[in-house]
Structure 1
Amino acid sequence: MNTFVSEAPAIAADVTCIWRAGAVLGEGPVWHDAEKRLYWTDIKSSRLHAYRPADGNMQQWELPCRVGSVGVPPANWVPPSEFAGTALLACGDWGLMWLGVSTKEVTATPIADPESDLLENRYNDGKIGPDGRYWAGSMHDAETEATGSLYAFTPAGQSMRLDTGYHVTNGPAFSPDGRTVYHNDSALQTIYAFDLNQDGTIGNKRVLARFGPDEGYPDGMTTDRDGNLWVAIWGGARIEKVSPQGERLGRVAIPTPQVTSCAFQGDDETVLYATSAKIGLEAPEPLAGGLFRITLA
C-alpha cells in the first residue's frame, strides 16, 4: 500500500473497519443524535448509508442523484409535510435538497441550486454550520478547472457565495465558538481559515496548514470541543489532528489509502468514524471504501 507520509506523532487508537461497504467515493459522515445512527454517502454510486452502533444495524438506499453531503436539520429548517420517516438535508446534483428516508426508499425535494448553469461542476462536501445554515462546496467534476465555490444556504432557500476559485472543495468545519470557518482546497493541499462575520459573510482568509508534496491531500474534517481539527488525508492512510494555530499535533493510521472524511459520535469524542474510497486505486485494497470506527485512548 503506497501512501504519503507524515511526521506527526502517532495517536493511540483502536481502528476497526466496521463495514466493508466498498464505496467508490464514500463521504459526508454525520451523526444523527436522535436516532443514534451515522449517515454517510457514496457520491459516485448515488447511495446513502446508515450505521447504528448499538446493534450493528446497517442500511443502504439508492438515491435519485449523486449526493456529496447530508446533514441533520436543526429546528429552523422545516421539512416537507409529506415526508415520512427521517428528514435529512443534502447537497448534490440537484443542489440543496431535502431527503425523505423511509425503510424502503429515499425521496428528494430540491430547494435551491445556484450552480444550475455550471454543468461541469458538482457539489462535494458540506454540513450544517453553527449559524443554522447549510454550508457546501462545489468543484469541477473532472478536477481540471478552479471553478469551485463555497456556499451557505438559509432555510428560506437563499444562497450566499462566500468564496470561489477552488479546485477540489472539502470541509467545511467550524470552531466551537462559531467564529472561525475552515475549508480545504484538497488539490492545493491547503487548509484555509476564515473569520465568520455577523452578517453571514466570511473574511480574513488565511492559510492554516499546507501539506507538502509527499504528505497527501487534506479532505473532509471535523472539530473537537477543544477546537482542534481532525482531517482525513486522501492518499495518506490517516487522519491528522491539527491545532487551531495550524500545528500538526498527531495522526491516526487508517488501513486504507484514501480516507475521505470523519465525524465524532455526537458528544462522545472518544469515538470517531471515517469514510473512505476505492476509486482510482491501481491495486485491490480489501478495506477501501469501508467505514471505520476509531476509538481514541
Structure 2
Amino acid sequence: MNFKLAIDSRVVLAETPIWDPRIKKLYWTDLFDGMVHRYDPLTGMDESVKAGSHIGAAIPTSDVDRLLVAVPDGMMLLDFPTGKLSLIVAPQPNTGQFRYNDTRCDSVGRIFTSSVSSQFTEPNFDPEIMTGKFYMIDTDGTVITLVDKLVQYNTIFFNNQNTSLYAVDTYYKKLLRFDYSIEKGASGVPEVVIDFDDMPDGVSVDAQNNIYVCHWGGNKQLTVWNLDNYQFVKSIPFPVKNICCGGFAGDDMKDFYVATSRFWLADGDPDFDAGAGGIFMARSEIAGIPECFYKIRY
C-alpha cells in the first residue's frame, strides 16, 4: 500500500473512519474536541458537528441522518444535520472520571463499548486503580458487563464467520477473543490470541479474514495477521508513527483510510510536516468488510 494524505485535518487525535455506502461519505471523529466529521471523497468537502467534550466513536445507523455516538453521557443518537443528541443508554453514570472509547455494533444491532479512565494520558495514571469496563448492550437495552476491570480496550470487531468477537487490549499489547454468536452475543472469559511487539490500536478486517492492525508509536507500520490461524502475514510501512484506526471505504471497499494523531509528538518532530493528525488513504488489493450499523428501535 502507498499511503497519501487525504484529509489534512491536523487534529490532536483522529479516530474511527467508517464508510457509509448509502451517501458515499466517510465519517471520522476528533476524539479530544468531540467532533464528528463527514468527508466526501468526490468533492473533498469535510463537514463536522459537535457531539460532546470527547467522543469514542460515531457509527451510522438505520436512519441515514443519525449516528450512534459514544460520549461521556452515554450512547447517544446524534442528528448530523441539526446536532441534536438523544440518549440511547448510559452503561455507567458520567462522573467525569472516565470516557467511552471505541464502540462498535454487531449485525443485529447490539452495542459493544468500553470505558477508560479520563486520567489515562496523565502522569498520575495508575493502571491498577483507574480502570474501565467492557459492556455489551443487548437489543432490548439490557447492559451486560463482559469485563469488570481493564485499562484500555480499542477496536471491537468480528471474524467473517461471526463466531468470535475480538477486542484490542492496547495497554497490555494483546488481541483478545470472546466466544460470540449472533443469537446470544458475546460471553465468557477472553483468551489471548496474539501478543504484539508494538502498541496496537485500531483494527480493520478484510474479505479474506485478515486484520490490519494500527500501531501507536514505534516503527511507523501497520501489521497484518490472519484470523484463521493468528499468524503474522506482513508489515506495511506508514508515513507517521501515531497510527490510530483504519477503515475500508469506496464502492469496491478497497480505499483504506487511516486516522492518525499528533498527541505526544515532541517539538520539531518530522511527523508534523508529514501530516500527523490527518487521515491517510491507500488502495488495497483486497476488499474490506463493511462495518455493522446501529439499528434504531424507537
TM range (shorter): 0.7 to 0.9
Q: Closer, same or farther in 2 for the Cα pair 1:93/1:117, shift >3 Å?
A: closer
Give, in angstroms, the shift of residue 266 of structure 1.
5.8
Match for 2:190 among 195, 205, 211? 205
Q: Is the CA contact 1:31–1:37 (under 8 Å) kept in the aligned structure 2?
A: yes
Match for 2:68 among 71, 89, 100? 89
Secondary structure of the corresponding residue to residue 185 of structure 2: coil
Correspondence for 2:112: 135
**Any idea what the Cα deviations from partners look like across 1:127-172, whole Å, max 9, x if unmatched?**
1223321211211121233522221224543322212322111010
Q: Is the CA contact 1:67–1:91 (under 8 Å) kept in the aligned structure 2?
A: yes
Q: Closer, same or farther in 2 for the Cα pair 1:176/1:97, shift >3 Å?
A: same
Correspondence for 2:177: 193
Match for 1:148 among 132, 146, 156? 132
Q: Closer, same or farther in 2 for the Cα pair 1:201/1:181, shift >3 Å?
A: closer
Q: Which letter does structure 2 place at the counterpart of 1:166?
A: L
Secondary structure of the corresponding residue to residue 38 of structure 1: strand
Q: Which letter does structure 2 place at the counterpart of 1:142?
A: Q
Give, in angstroms, the shift of residue 204 of structure 1.
5.2
Query: 2:150 aligned with 1:166, yes or no?
Result: yes
Give, in angstroms, the shift of residue 182 of structure 1.
0.9
Name the stretch that deviates more: 141-150 or 86-95: 141-150
Correspondence for 2:202: 220
Show structure 1 runs of 4+ deviating over 3 A: 154-157
Correspondence for 2:234: 250
Q: TM-score, normalised by structure 1?
A: 0.85
Secondary structure of the corresponding residue to residue 242 of structure 1: strand
Secondary structure of the corresponding residue to residue 61 of structure 1: strand
Secondary structure of the corresponding residue to residue 99 of structure 1: strand
**Gapped runs of 5+ residues in structure 1?**
1-12, 80-84
Give, in angstroms, the shift of residue 57 of structure 1.
2.1
Secondary structure of the corresponding residue to residue 64 of structure 1: coil
May I ask how many residue pairs the two structures share in their alignment? Answer: 271
Q: Closer, same or farther in 2 for the Cα pair 1:224/1:112, shift >3 Å?
A: same
Secondary structure of the corresponding residue to residue 171 of structure 2: helix
**Any idea what the Cα deviations from partners look like across 1:45-64, whole Å, max 9, x if unmatched?**
11111111222222222333
Percent identity, aligned pairs only, is 24
Name the stretch that deviates more: 272-281 or 127-136: 127-136
**Gapped runs of 5+ residues in structure 2?**
286-298
**Any idea what the Cα deviations from partners look like across 1:159-198, whole Å, max 9, x if unmatched?**
2221232211101011112111110111111111111144
Q: Is the CA contact 2:202–2:214 (under 8 Å) kept in the aligned structure 1?
A: yes
Q: TM-score, normalised by structure 2?
A: 0.84
Q: Closer, same or farther in 2 for the Cα pair 1:252/1:269, shift >3 Å?
A: farther
Distance 1:201 1:182 in 2: 10
Match for 1:112 among 89, 93, 101? 89
Correspondence for 1:179: 163
Give, in angstroms, the shift of residue 117 of structure 1.
5.5
Give, in angstroms, the shift of residue 22 of structure 1.
0.9
